[in-house]
A = this chain, B = another copy of it.
Amino acid sequence: MKRLLPRVFVSGTGVTAFGELWRESVESMAARAAREAMEEAKITHKEVDLLIVGNMLVQQLEQRAQVGSIVAQAIAFAGPTLHIEGACASGGLAVRQGVMAIRSGMARRVLIVGVEKMSDVGSDDIARALMAAGDEEEQWAGATFPALYAMMMREYMAEYDIHEADVAAVAVQSHKHACLNPLAQFRREISVAEVLSSELVADPIRQLMCAPFSDGAAALVLEAGRAGVEIVGSGQGGDVLGLSGRNSLFSMKATQTACEAAFKESGLRVLDIDVAEVHDCFSIAQLMAVRDLGLVDRTVINTSGGLKACGHPVGATGVKQVVEVARQLLGVCVGRQVHNARVGLTQNVGGTGATAVVHILRRLHAD
Protein backbone atom coordinates (compact mmCIF):
# COMPACT_ATOMS: atom_id res chain seq x y z
CA MET A 1 0.00 0.00 0.00
CA LYS A 2 2.82 2.37 0.87
CA ARG A 3 4.04 2.11 -2.70
CA LEU A 4 0.84 3.70 -3.88
CA LEU A 5 1.17 6.82 -1.78
CA PRO A 6 2.27 9.89 -3.69
CA ARG A 7 6.04 10.39 -3.52
CA VAL A 8 7.27 13.76 -2.32
CA PHE A 9 9.83 15.80 -4.22
CA VAL A 10 11.55 19.10 -3.57
CA SER A 11 10.84 21.19 -6.64
CA GLY A 12 11.97 24.54 -5.34
CA THR A 13 14.26 25.97 -2.66
CA GLY A 14 14.78 29.47 -1.31
CA VAL A 15 16.75 31.00 1.51
CA THR A 16 17.67 34.53 2.59
CA ALA A 17 20.93 35.64 4.10
CA PHE A 18 21.00 34.87 7.83
CA GLY A 19 22.18 37.49 10.30
CA GLU A 20 21.17 40.71 12.00
CA LEU A 21 19.02 42.06 9.21
CA TRP A 22 17.89 45.38 10.58
CA ARG A 23 15.89 46.41 7.54
CA GLU A 24 14.00 43.13 7.27
CA SER A 25 10.68 41.99 8.73
CA VAL A 26 9.05 38.59 9.03
CA GLU A 27 7.05 39.44 5.93
CA SER A 28 9.94 40.70 3.79
CA MET A 29 12.16 37.70 4.56
CA ALA A 30 9.37 35.15 4.20
CA ALA A 31 8.33 36.66 0.88
CA ARG A 32 11.88 36.67 -0.51
CA ALA A 33 12.52 33.02 0.38
CA ALA A 34 9.06 31.94 -0.82
CA ARG A 35 9.44 33.75 -4.15
CA GLU A 36 12.85 32.18 -4.76
CA ALA A 37 11.46 28.70 -4.07
CA MET A 38 8.40 29.25 -6.29
CA GLU A 39 10.58 30.64 -9.09
CA GLU A 40 12.81 27.57 -8.92
CA ALA A 41 9.72 25.33 -8.98
CA LYS A 42 8.42 27.37 -11.93
CA ILE A 43 5.10 28.06 -10.23
CA THR A 44 3.22 31.07 -8.93
CA HIS A 45 1.39 31.31 -5.62
CA LYS A 46 -1.81 30.50 -7.51
CA GLU A 47 -0.58 26.95 -8.01
CA VAL A 48 0.08 26.38 -4.30
CA ASP A 49 -2.48 24.15 -2.55
CA LEU A 50 -1.28 24.79 1.01
CA LEU A 51 1.14 27.20 2.70
CA ILE A 52 2.76 25.86 5.87
CA VAL A 53 4.65 28.31 8.07
CA GLY A 54 7.19 27.24 10.68
CA ASN A 55 7.66 29.97 13.26
CA MET A 56 8.27 30.10 16.98
CA LEU A 57 8.41 33.72 18.11
CA VAL A 58 6.05 36.00 16.20
CA GLN A 59 3.24 35.44 18.69
CA GLN A 60 5.49 35.95 21.70
CA LEU A 61 7.57 38.89 20.49
CA GLU A 62 5.17 40.73 18.21
CA GLN A 63 1.79 39.69 19.66
CA ARG A 64 0.55 38.74 16.21
CA ALA A 65 -1.35 35.55 15.46
CA GLN A 66 -2.81 33.55 12.58
CA VAL A 67 0.84 33.54 11.50
CA GLY A 68 0.11 31.46 8.41
CA SER A 69 -2.08 34.26 7.07
CA ILE A 70 0.55 36.90 7.86
CA VAL A 71 3.04 35.14 5.60
CA ALA A 72 0.32 34.45 3.04
CA GLN A 73 -0.46 38.16 2.86
CA ALA A 74 3.20 38.91 2.16
CA ILE A 75 3.04 36.87 -1.06
CA ALA A 76 -0.58 37.73 -1.92
CA PHE A 77 -1.61 34.12 -1.32
CA ALA A 78 -5.28 33.69 -0.40
CA GLY A 79 -5.45 29.90 -0.09
CA PRO A 80 -5.22 27.56 2.93
CA THR A 81 -2.47 28.22 5.46
CA LEU A 82 -1.14 26.48 8.54
CA HIS A 83 1.18 27.69 11.30
CA ILE A 84 3.32 25.10 13.08
CA GLU A 85 5.15 25.80 16.35
CA GLY A 86 7.57 23.38 17.94
CA ALA A 87 10.20 25.76 19.37
CA CYS A 88 13.48 25.40 17.39
CA ALA A 89 12.00 22.40 15.56
CA SER A 90 9.17 24.50 14.06
CA GLY A 91 10.82 24.42 10.63
CA GLY A 92 11.46 20.69 10.53
CA LEU A 93 7.92 20.02 11.70
CA ALA A 94 6.60 22.29 8.94
CA VAL A 95 8.51 20.23 6.38
CA ARG A 96 7.13 17.01 7.89
CA GLN A 97 3.56 18.33 7.69
CA GLY A 98 4.20 19.15 4.04
CA VAL A 99 5.25 15.55 3.45
CA MET A 100 2.08 14.35 5.22
CA ALA A 101 -0.12 16.70 3.21
CA ILE A 102 1.19 15.31 -0.08
CA ARG A 103 1.29 11.66 0.95
CA SER A 104 -2.29 11.93 2.24
CA GLY A 105 -3.41 13.10 -1.18
CA MET A 106 -4.88 16.23 0.45
CA ALA A 107 -2.48 18.59 -1.33
CA ARG A 108 -0.42 18.21 -4.46
CA ARG A 109 1.82 21.25 -4.13
CA VAL A 110 2.86 22.67 -0.75
CA LEU A 111 4.87 25.79 -0.01
CA ILE A 112 6.81 25.59 3.25
CA VAL A 113 8.19 28.78 4.78
CA GLY A 114 10.32 28.89 7.92
CA VAL A 115 10.95 32.36 9.29
CA GLU A 116 12.16 34.16 12.39
CA LYS A 117 12.92 37.79 13.26
CA MET A 118 15.00 37.96 16.44
CA SER A 119 17.03 41.17 16.21
CA ASP A 120 14.18 43.57 16.96
CA VAL A 121 14.36 42.94 20.70
CA GLY A 122 17.24 42.87 23.17
CA SER A 123 19.17 39.69 23.81
CA ASP A 124 17.78 39.29 27.33
CA ASP A 125 14.26 39.38 25.90
CA ILE A 126 15.22 36.85 23.23
CA ALA A 127 16.80 34.54 25.80
CA ARG A 128 13.62 34.73 27.87
CA ALA A 129 11.40 34.15 24.84
CA LEU A 130 13.42 31.10 23.82
CA MET A 131 13.33 29.68 27.33
CA ALA A 132 9.55 29.65 26.96
CA ALA A 133 10.22 26.35 25.21
CA GLY A 134 11.80 24.89 28.35
CA ASP A 135 10.36 22.98 31.23
CA GLU A 136 8.63 25.20 33.83
CA GLU A 137 10.70 23.86 36.72
CA GLU A 138 13.84 24.65 34.76
CA GLN A 139 12.53 28.15 34.14
CA TRP A 140 11.71 28.66 37.81
CA ALA A 141 15.23 27.51 38.70
CA GLY A 142 16.58 30.26 36.44
CA ALA A 143 18.02 27.84 33.89
CA THR A 144 18.65 29.05 30.35
CA PHE A 145 19.33 26.89 27.31
CA PRO A 146 23.12 27.40 27.56
CA ALA A 147 22.93 26.23 31.19
CA LEU A 148 20.96 23.12 30.23
CA TYR A 149 23.23 22.26 27.32
CA ALA A 150 26.22 22.85 29.65
CA MET A 151 24.94 20.01 31.82
CA MET A 152 24.59 17.86 28.74
CA MET A 153 28.11 18.79 27.63
CA ARG A 154 29.58 17.79 30.99
CA GLU A 155 27.82 14.43 30.83
CA TYR A 156 28.88 13.86 27.24
CA MET A 157 32.52 14.72 27.94
CA ALA A 158 32.58 12.39 30.94
CA GLU A 159 30.85 9.55 29.09
CA TYR A 160 33.09 9.64 26.02
CA ASP A 161 36.21 10.99 27.68
CA ILE A 162 36.64 14.02 25.46
CA HIS A 163 37.73 17.54 26.28
CA GLU A 164 36.63 21.10 25.69
CA ALA A 165 39.06 21.35 22.80
CA ASP A 166 37.21 18.55 21.02
CA VAL A 167 33.98 20.51 21.26
CA ALA A 168 35.78 23.67 20.18
CA ALA A 169 37.00 21.85 17.08
CA VAL A 170 33.37 21.41 16.00
CA ALA A 171 32.81 25.17 16.15
CA VAL A 172 36.02 25.75 14.18
CA GLN A 173 34.77 23.43 11.45
CA SER A 174 31.37 25.20 11.38
CA HIS A 175 33.04 28.56 10.79
CA LYS A 176 35.26 27.05 8.09
CA HIS A 177 32.16 25.85 6.25
CA ALA A 178 30.35 29.15 6.77
CA CYS A 179 33.22 30.97 5.03
CA LEU A 180 32.18 29.10 1.88
CA ASN A 181 28.48 30.02 2.23
CA PRO A 182 27.77 33.56 1.02
CA LEU A 183 24.49 33.63 3.01
CA ALA A 184 26.03 32.64 6.38
CA GLN A 185 26.02 34.97 9.37
CA PHE A 186 29.67 34.41 10.44
CA ARG A 187 31.99 34.18 7.49
CA ARG A 188 35.32 34.19 9.28
CA GLU A 189 37.58 31.38 10.44
CA ILE A 190 38.18 30.87 14.12
CA SER A 191 40.75 28.73 15.95
CA VAL A 192 40.40 26.27 18.79
CA ALA A 193 42.39 28.66 20.97
CA GLU A 194 39.95 31.47 20.15
CA VAL A 195 36.97 29.30 21.08
CA LEU A 196 38.57 28.21 24.35
CA SER A 197 39.42 31.78 25.32
CA SER A 198 36.01 33.19 24.39
CA GLU A 199 33.69 34.26 27.18
CA LEU A 200 32.32 31.53 29.44
CA VAL A 201 28.52 31.54 28.99
CA ALA A 202 27.59 28.54 31.14
CA ASP A 203 30.59 26.48 32.19
CA PRO A 204 31.87 24.60 30.15
CA ILE A 205 30.01 26.26 27.23
CA ARG A 206 31.81 29.29 25.80
CA GLN A 207 30.44 31.98 23.56
CA LEU A 208 32.04 30.56 20.41
CA MET A 209 30.34 27.21 21.05
CA CYS A 210 26.86 28.86 20.83
CA ALA A 211 24.66 29.54 17.82
CA PRO A 212 23.77 33.24 17.52
CA PHE A 213 20.40 35.01 17.47
CA SER A 214 19.53 35.54 13.82
CA ASP A 215 16.98 36.86 11.37
CA GLY A 216 16.22 34.83 8.28
CA ALA A 217 13.82 32.74 6.24
CA ALA A 218 13.93 29.60 4.14
CA ALA A 219 11.36 28.05 1.81
CA LEU A 220 10.63 24.86 -0.05
CA VAL A 221 8.12 23.79 -2.65
CA LEU A 222 7.18 20.15 -2.19
CA GLU A 223 5.26 18.30 -4.89
CA ALA A 224 3.93 14.90 -5.65
CA GLY A 225 6.14 13.83 -8.51
CA ARG A 226 8.68 11.48 -9.95
CA ALA A 227 11.98 13.24 -10.60
CA GLY A 228 14.64 15.30 -8.84
CA VAL A 229 15.32 15.32 -5.12
CA GLU A 230 12.95 13.06 -3.23
CA ILE A 231 12.14 13.12 0.48
CA VAL A 232 12.39 9.37 1.05
CA GLY A 233 12.18 9.37 4.84
CA SER A 234 10.55 11.50 7.50
CA GLY A 235 10.67 10.70 11.20
CA GLN A 236 9.68 12.46 14.39
CA GLY A 237 10.56 11.66 17.96
CA GLY A 238 9.63 13.11 21.33
CA ASP A 239 10.70 13.14 24.92
CA VAL A 240 9.72 14.82 28.18
CA LEU A 241 10.39 18.56 28.35
CA GLY A 242 12.67 18.64 31.37
CA LEU A 243 16.13 17.12 31.65
CA SER A 244 15.27 15.71 35.09
CA GLY A 245 12.91 13.23 33.43
CA ARG A 246 15.39 11.96 30.84
CA ASN A 247 17.18 8.64 30.85
CA SER A 248 20.35 10.18 29.47
CA LEU A 249 21.82 13.65 29.25
CA PHE A 250 24.49 12.72 26.68
CA SER A 251 22.08 11.45 24.05
CA MET A 252 18.62 12.39 22.76
CA LYS A 253 15.94 9.74 22.61
CA ALA A 254 13.87 12.00 20.33
CA THR A 255 16.66 12.08 17.73
CA GLN A 256 17.15 8.32 17.91
CA THR A 257 13.41 7.67 17.46
CA ALA A 258 13.11 10.13 14.57
CA CYS A 259 16.21 8.71 12.92
CA GLU A 260 15.04 5.12 13.15
CA ALA A 261 11.63 6.00 11.67
CA ALA A 262 13.15 8.00 8.81
CA PHE A 263 15.62 5.27 7.86
CA LYS A 264 12.92 2.62 8.03
CA GLU A 265 10.77 4.59 5.59
CA SER A 266 13.65 5.27 3.27
CA GLY A 267 15.01 1.77 2.95
CA LEU A 268 18.48 3.34 3.18
CA ARG A 269 21.28 2.84 5.71
CA VAL A 270 23.37 5.35 7.53
CA LEU A 271 26.32 4.36 5.33
CA ASP A 272 24.43 5.87 2.40
CA ILE A 273 24.42 9.39 3.86
CA ASP A 274 26.79 11.71 2.00
CA VAL A 275 25.81 15.03 3.57
CA ALA A 276 23.92 15.98 6.72
CA GLU A 277 22.67 19.16 8.33
CA VAL A 278 22.35 18.60 12.08
CA HIS A 279 21.06 20.80 14.88
CA ASP A 280 24.12 22.44 16.51
CA CYS A 281 22.42 25.10 18.60
CA PHE A 282 25.53 24.50 20.72
CA SER A 283 28.55 22.69 19.32
CA ILE A 284 28.07 19.88 21.83
CA ALA A 285 24.67 19.23 20.27
CA GLN A 286 26.41 18.40 16.98
CA LEU A 287 28.53 15.74 18.66
CA MET A 288 25.41 14.30 20.31
CA ALA A 289 23.52 14.35 17.00
CA VAL A 290 26.29 12.59 15.10
CA ARG A 291 26.35 9.82 17.68
CA ASP A 292 22.54 9.53 18.00
CA LEU A 293 22.19 9.39 14.22
CA GLY A 294 25.13 7.00 13.90
CA LEU A 295 26.70 9.12 11.15
CA VAL A 296 29.97 7.76 9.80
CA ASP A 297 33.20 9.65 9.20
CA ARG A 298 32.76 10.15 5.48
CA THR A 299 29.49 12.08 5.93
CA VAL A 300 30.10 15.78 5.47
CA ILE A 301 28.27 17.68 8.19
CA ASN A 302 26.77 21.17 8.16
CA THR A 303 28.11 22.47 4.88
CA SER A 304 25.92 25.54 5.42
CA GLY A 305 27.94 26.42 8.50
CA GLY A 306 25.24 24.93 10.74
CA LEU A 307 23.26 26.84 13.30
CA LYS A 308 26.54 27.89 14.89
CA ALA A 309 27.99 29.83 11.96
CA CYS A 310 25.30 30.05 9.26
CA GLY A 311 22.97 31.39 11.95
CA HIS A 312 19.86 30.19 13.76
CA PRO A 313 16.62 32.05 13.04
CA VAL A 314 14.74 29.39 14.94
CA GLY A 315 11.64 28.89 12.79
CA ALA A 316 13.74 28.99 9.62
CA THR A 317 16.46 26.55 10.69
CA GLY A 318 14.67 23.25 10.03
CA VAL A 319 13.59 24.43 6.57
CA LYS A 320 17.04 25.79 5.74
CA GLN A 321 18.58 22.42 6.60
CA VAL A 322 16.42 20.76 3.95
CA VAL A 323 17.19 23.57 1.47
CA GLU A 324 20.95 23.07 1.99
CA VAL A 325 20.81 19.29 1.63
CA ALA A 326 18.55 19.49 -1.44
CA ARG A 327 20.97 21.92 -3.05
CA GLN A 328 23.92 19.65 -2.22
CA LEU A 329 22.09 16.78 -3.91
CA LEU A 330 21.35 18.99 -6.92
CA GLY A 331 25.04 19.87 -7.09
CA VAL A 332 24.52 23.63 -6.99
CA CYS A 333 26.42 24.55 -3.79
CA VAL A 334 29.15 26.45 -5.59
CA GLY A 335 32.33 26.66 -3.51
CA ARG A 336 31.19 24.15 -0.89
CA GLN A 337 29.73 21.40 -3.06
CA VAL A 338 30.33 17.87 -1.78
CA HIS A 339 31.40 15.82 -4.77
CA ASN A 340 28.67 13.53 -6.08
CA ALA A 341 26.43 13.87 -3.01
CA ARG A 342 23.42 11.62 -3.63
CA VAL A 343 21.84 11.03 -0.24
CA GLY A 344 21.45 13.53 2.59
CA LEU A 345 19.92 13.84 6.04
CA THR A 346 18.60 16.66 8.22
CA GLN A 347 18.06 16.67 11.98
CA ASN A 348 16.18 19.47 13.73
CA VAL A 349 15.66 19.70 17.50
CA GLY A 350 13.17 21.57 19.70
CA GLY A 351 14.39 22.82 23.09
CA THR A 352 16.73 20.37 24.75
CA GLY A 353 15.27 17.47 22.80
CA ALA A 354 11.56 17.24 23.63
CA THR A 355 11.09 17.25 19.85
CA ALA A 356 13.28 16.01 17.00
CA VAL A 357 12.60 15.68 13.29
CA VAL A 358 14.77 13.79 10.81
CA HIS A 359 14.43 13.83 7.02
CA ILE A 360 16.31 11.77 4.46
CA LEU A 361 16.60 13.05 0.89
CA ARG A 362 17.85 11.31 -2.22
CA ARG A 363 18.61 12.50 -5.72
CA LEU A 364 16.69 10.26 -8.04
CA HIS A 365 18.33 8.55 -11.03
CA ALA A 366 21.63 8.91 -9.24
CA ASP A 367 22.74 5.35 -9.90
Q: Which of A67-75, A209-217, A339-347 contacts B (4 or more CB under 8 A)?
A: A67-75
User: Is B355 a contact of A81 with CB atoms below 8 Å?
Assistant: yes
Q: How large is the interface on A (under 10, 10 to 19, 20 to 34, 35 or more residues)?
A: 35 or more
A37-79 residues with Cβ-Cβ distance < 8 A to B are 50, 56-57, 59-60, 63-70, 72-73, 77-79
- A87 CB contacts on chain B under 8 angstroms: 65-66, 69
Q: Given the complex of chains A and B, what is the CA–CA distance between A239 and B237 in angstroms?
A: 34
User: Is A66 a contact of B86 with CB atoms below 8 Å?
Assistant: yes
Q: Which of A97-105, A166-174, A190-198, A283-291 contacts B (4 or more CB under 8 A)?
A: A97-105
User: Is B104 a contact of A69 with CB atoms below 8 Å?
Assistant: no
* Shortest distance from the beta carbon of A217 to any chain B beta carbon, whole Å: 18
* Shortest distance from the beta carbon of A245 to any chain B beta carbon, whole Å: 8
Q: How many copies does the complex hold?
A: 2
| A322-365 interface code vs B (CB 8 A; 1 in, 0 out) | 00000000000000000000000000001100110000000000
User: Is A81 a contact of B132 with CB atoms below 8 Å?
Assistant: no
* Shortest distance from the beta carbon of A257 to any chain B beta carbon, whole Å: 8
- Chain B: CB-nearest residue to A59: B59
- A2 CB contacts on chain B under 8 angstroms: 105
- A78 CB contacts on chain B under 8 angstroms: 238-240, 245, 253
Q: Given the complex of chains A and B, what is the CA–CA distance between A242 and B239 in angstroms?
A: 39
Pick from A59, A66, A85, A106 the residue with the most CB of B within 10 Å.
A66
Known contacts A59-B85, A86-B81; A68 and B106 CB within 8 A of each other: no
Q: Given the complex of chains A and B, what is the CA–CA distance between A60 and B65 in angstroms?
A: 9
Known contacts A59-B59, A82-B84; A72 and B351 CB within 8 A of each other: no
Nearest 4 Cβ contacts at the A-B interface = A103-B104, A80-B236, A66-B87, A65-B132
* Residue contacts A-B, CB under 8 angstroms, 18 given: A4-B4, A56-B65, A60-B63, A63-B128, A66-B85, A66-B355, A68-B86, A69-B87, A69-B238, A69-B240, A69-B241, A73-B135, A78-B240, A80-B258, A82-B93, A82-B97, A100-B101, A103-B104
